[in-house]
Structure 1
Amino acid sequence: MIAKLKIVLSLCASVLLLTSCPNGLKNGLKGGLSGGKPNSINIGNASTATGLAYNQKGGFQVDKKFTGQLTGPNLVFIEGGRFTMGSLEEDIMGIHDNIERTVSVQSFYMDETEIANVHYLEYLDAVKRDSTQDFYESALPDTTVWRNDLAFNDPYVEQYLRFPGFRMYPVVGVSWKQSTDYCVWRTAAVNNNLATVPVAKEKKPKKGAAAAATTASATTRAAAPARLTIESGRVLPSYRLPTEAEWEYAAKAMIGTQQQDENQVNQRIYPWDGPSLRESTGKGRGNMLANFKRGRGDYAGIAGKSNDGAIITAEIYKYSPNDFGLYQMAGNVNEWVQDLYRPLSFQDFNDLNPVRRTDKDDKASRYDSKNQNSLITNKVRVYKGGSWADVAYWLAPGTRRYLDEDSSTATIGFRCAMISAGTNK
């Protein structure tokens, strides 16, 4: 009898608790489950874990207007998936450093173009105003990469970076370290811009002094950046150099060969279908598909129809984009990627989002660079894609080369990437 009485009292207390709370669990559960199961975009009106209502005064605040990650300037969404990473070309160099293997890459974003001179000059301007003279000087591209004692490239030394006619040409003469520093600055610049409060609009403007005061107040609010948090959904993840796997996946763009049931029509040697380096159909038939060195002494062909359009670099939007919408993923300039170079990385890589950031499982001491028996150290980074001065072999996404992270040339530039947060694809 006493046990039954305790049960009844307990049930009564529970009912009283549910009905007496102003924003109680009962109403909270109802709000949280309305409109179907919650997800990252539509989370409902209350917590499905506690039943407590969201956004009540003094309670847990959730931005319910979130509709997904913002797409940063110049970025293109790259849907992740499985692909065959590695070189499909004959290994004429005999290096065997990128043997074919199957890996999967998470969805991410990548710049649709290479970083141009005008973009890098914007960075230099910001650095000059906000940083030390030493850092500004360390950020300057090495324009002497154009100099050659046996060639007349002198105009490029002075003109290529700063002359307005070269604004939309890819920046060169930048090292891996300089490219990484640019990514850090760009992240801060983009997020600071997103944090700017828009000017308040008045439905019916007031007259006289009151109107002037209102306008001044709105201008002040607009100039003051808001302090955004990651929880707001308006803070973009960091810009960075793409991993080698991401770069190769994006360059091959196998999504363009997709058929039903995950079947693909063919593999790709280049970022387009077929073995040819020219357009095979349409009005552009016979035109070159990339900017590269066609043969010994032949950087552009003869003047006229067969010309590939550029003796040195070309503007970043020249030539058609690949099936992901990315321009110049073959030729024009090689591009830095994150990875530390090792010839046997294909053996050590994880098969999900592979990247080599350290010499784990392949120590630099194995290569004896101290005694000049190798160029491989913990400072050499991979670059990919081929350039205006490279033959067609290097246009294949699976080929790879390396250079010291502090070095630069007239044939290497870069583009940025970014993770796709809050997605399982």
Structure 2
Amino acid sequence: MNISKYLGLALVGACTLTACNKGGRSATNPGKYSSTTGIEYNTDEGMKVSDYQGIPEGPGLVFIEGGRTVLGSAEEDVAMSHDNLERTVTLASFYMDEVEVANIHWLEYLHYVRKDSAEEFYMSALPDTTVWARELSFNDPYVDYYLRYPGFRYFPVVGVSWLQANDFCTWRTAKVNEVLAGEASDDGGGSRRGGLFGRKKNKGGDAAEGTSEDGGGVKIAIENGNTLPNYRLPTEAEWEYAAQALIGTQETGNENQENKRIYPWDGRQVRNPYGKNQGQFLANFKRGRGDYAGIAGSLNDGAMITEQVFSYPPNDYGLYNMAGNVNEWVQDIYRPLSYEDVEDLNPFRRNGYLDPSEKYDKKGYQSLIDDHVRVYKGGSWRDVAYWLSPGTRRFMAEDSATATIGFRCAMINAGSNK
């Protein structure tokens, strides 16, 4: 062992550390030498430390600054469920899609799935367009046209189950990171050779050439820092916090949160009280029995069914349709008492912990609750204004779908404690 070599490196490292401390070592400026061993990084001897300039910008995402808030329903509990009482929590900052996932986004997903994954998975990824069919209503054209007709491109995708939404998040993560890592394939589509969801078969029934037993695809190292964390469904707490957007009511330098909102906007009304758009509805919802849009010549919310995802004013985080248009899936499993069970930092209800499903008599038809029902929030084109309040919550089986539920993705703010 060359002692003088290591002593020399240690001295250089100490000097470098002193210099770096003056400038401030950080994730983006780790220094040339280790402050633990004095060994130079990115050499044959030293550890590889990639250049890092912060988390890459994720397509479609908006930054949501976290903090302390009061979650829970601000509306009268007309259902008498008492399942979301007010409590103080803190949420870390995160990212969320600016808009709901639209038909064009889902069609892109289907394009790549059909191109590089098993046909069985492609069939399972198709939305259930029959959710539009009603025995006593002529919604038949939507069954055929809503998903694929170009005029509906930027309408929110519906007929998608919670399980399908999670698969979309998995695909989106892989596809975005292939592009960011600069390792897209030469065919211009960046397709994974083995398929993300099972190997694509050739005409003879064998695995396509170039596939591997583990599905192939690009290998991405987290340590490189040039890729994004996983796209995923937001937690219920994240979704509710983002919908409230109380940052728009906060006074600079005042740490007290003195205002609360019934809806994702100020006031108790659902119409715009100001300016040239005064009197216009602020969300797409059912105004009353049989009234989805207003009268001809003076349509107000203007949407008999869903509306384009960039319609209506965004909330103070810049998020569109956090009330109305479609309800949105969140990660959490449903339990009535989640508000008192979960932690007060980044609260989340997951499977298999506390309040077991055996307590709920689903087999005896006394309950609808088990470990496969998920929360959805936000209200839809078919819901009355009560469900537009961020604190309201409902649930449905994770493998079910309707014409009133869609989703949007979220992502951790990696590399930050805020």
The answer to whether TM tops 0.5 is: yes
In the alignment, structure 1 residue 61 sits paired with structure 2 residue 48: yes
Please give the residue correspondences for 1:58-207 in structure 2 after superposition, counting only pairs within 5 Å: 58-63=45-50, 65-196=51-182
Counterpart pick for 1:52 among 17, 22, 39: 39
Alpha-carbon deviation of 1:227?
Answer: 5.1
In the alignment of these two chains, the number of paired residues is: 383
Q: Is the 8 A contact 1:29 1:52 kept in 2?
A: no
Deviation larger for 28-37 or 249-258: 28-37
Alpha-carbon deviation of 1:22?
Answer: 9.5
Counterpart pick for 2:417 among 413, 420, 424: 424
* Residue identity in the other structure for 2:337: L
> Residue in 2 aligned with 1:355?
348
Alpha-carbon deviation of 1:420?
Answer: 0.8
* Residue identity in the other structure for 2:322: M
> What's the secondary structure of 2:285's corresponding residue?
coil
Question: CA, structure 1 residues 388+229, in 2 after alignment: closer, same or farther (shift >3 Å)?
Answer: same
> Residue in 1 aligned with 2:16?
31
Once residues 227 and 360 of structure 1 are traced to their aligned partners in structure 2, the CA distance between those partners, rounded to angstroms, is: 33
Percent identity between matched residues is: 60
Once residues 74 and 310 of structure 2 are traced to their aligned partners in structure 1, the CA distance between those partners, rounded to angstroms, is: 27
Once residues 41 and 257 of structure 1 are traced to their aligned partners in structure 2, the CA distance between those partners, rounded to angstroms, is: 33
Once residues 39 and 95 of structure 1 are traced to their aligned partners in structure 2, the CA distance between those partners, rounded to angstroms, is: 48
Higher Rg of the two aligned structures: 1
Deviation larger for 322-331 or 38-47: 38-47
Cα deviation per residue 1:281-316 (whole Å; 9 max; x = unaligned)?
A: 111111110000000000011124451121100000
Whose helix fraction is larger, Structure 1's or Structure 2's? 1
Alpha-carbon deviation of 1:53?
Answer: 2.0
Question: CA, structure 1 residues 97+66, in 2 after alignment: closer, same or farther (shift >3 Å)?
Answer: same
> What's the secondary structure of 2:289's corresponding residue?
coil
Q: Is the 8 A contact 2:249 2:259 kept in 1?
A: yes
> What's the secondary structure of 2:294's corresponding residue?
coil
Counterpart pick for 2:29 among 42, 51, 56: 42
- TM-score for the superposition, normalised by structure 2: 0.88
Once residues 75 and 378 of structure 1 are traced to their aligned partners in structure 2, the CA distance between those partners, rounded to angstroms, is: 30
Once residues 94 and 352 of structure 2 are traced to their aligned partners in structure 1, the CA distance between those partners, rounded to angstroms, is: 25
Question: CA, structure 1 residues 423+293, in 2 after alignment: closer, same or farther (shift >3 Å)?
Answer: same
Q: Is the 8 A contact 1:104 1:351 kept in 2?
A: yes
In the alignment, structure 1 residue 309 sits paired with structure 2 residue 302: yes
* Residue identity in the other structure for 1:42: N
What stretches of structure 2 of length at least 5 have no aligned partner? 185-216
Cα deviation per residue 1:128-147 (whole Å; 9 max; x = unaligned)?
A: 12122211111110000000
* Residue identity in the other structure for 1:264: Q
* Residue identity in the other structure for 2:138: F
Alpha-carbon deviation of 1:44?
Answer: 1.8
In the alignment, structure 1 residue 229 sits paired with structure 2 residue 211: no
> What's the secondary structure of 1:369's corresponding residue?
coil
In the alignment, structure 1 residue 367 sits paired with structure 2 residue 360: yes
> Residue in 2 aligned with 1:335?
328
Question: CA, structure 1 residues 420+366, in 2 after alignment: closer, same or farther (shift >3 Å)?
Answer: same
* Residue identity in the other structure for 1:32: L
Once residues 287 and 29 of structure 1 are traced to their aligned partners in structure 2, the CA distance between those partners, rounded to angstroms, is: 65
Alpha-carbon deviation of 1:226?
Answer: 7.6
Question: CA, structure 1 residues 227+381, in 2 after alignment: closer, same or farther (shift >3 Å)?
Answer: closer
> Residue in 1 aligned with 2:192?
none
Once residues 237 and 411 of structure 1 are traced to their aligned partners in structure 2, the CA distance between those partners, rounded to angstroms, is: 29
Counterpart pick for 1:239 among 231, 236, 260: 231
> Residue in 2 aligned with 1:282?
275
Alpha-carbon deviation of 1:79?
Answer: 1.1
- TM-score for the superposition, normalised by structure 1: 0.87
Once residues 318 and 146 of structure 1 are traced to their aligned partners in structure 2, the CA distance between those partners, rounded to angstroms, is: 21
> Residue in 2 aligned with 1:254?
246
> Residue in 1 aligned with 2:200?
none
> What's the secondary structure of 2:414's corresponding residue?
coil
> What's the secondary structure of 2:363's corresponding residue?
helix
Alpha-carbon deviation of 1:266?
Answer: 1.0
* Residue identity in the other structure for 1:90: E
Once residues 386 and 337 of structure 1 are traced to their aligned partners in structure 2, the CA distance between those partners, rounded to angstroms, is: 13
What's the Cα RMSD here?
1.8
What stretches of structure 1 of length at least 5 have no aligned partner? 1-15, 199-224
> What's the secondary structure of 2:120's corresponding residue?
helix
> What's the secondary structure of 1:32's corresponding residue?
helix
Deviation larger for 43-52 or 308-317: 43-52
Alpha-carbon deviation of 1:55?
Answer: 2.3
> Residue in 1 aligned with 2:198?
none
In the alignment, structure 1 residue 297 sits paired with structure 2 residue 282: no
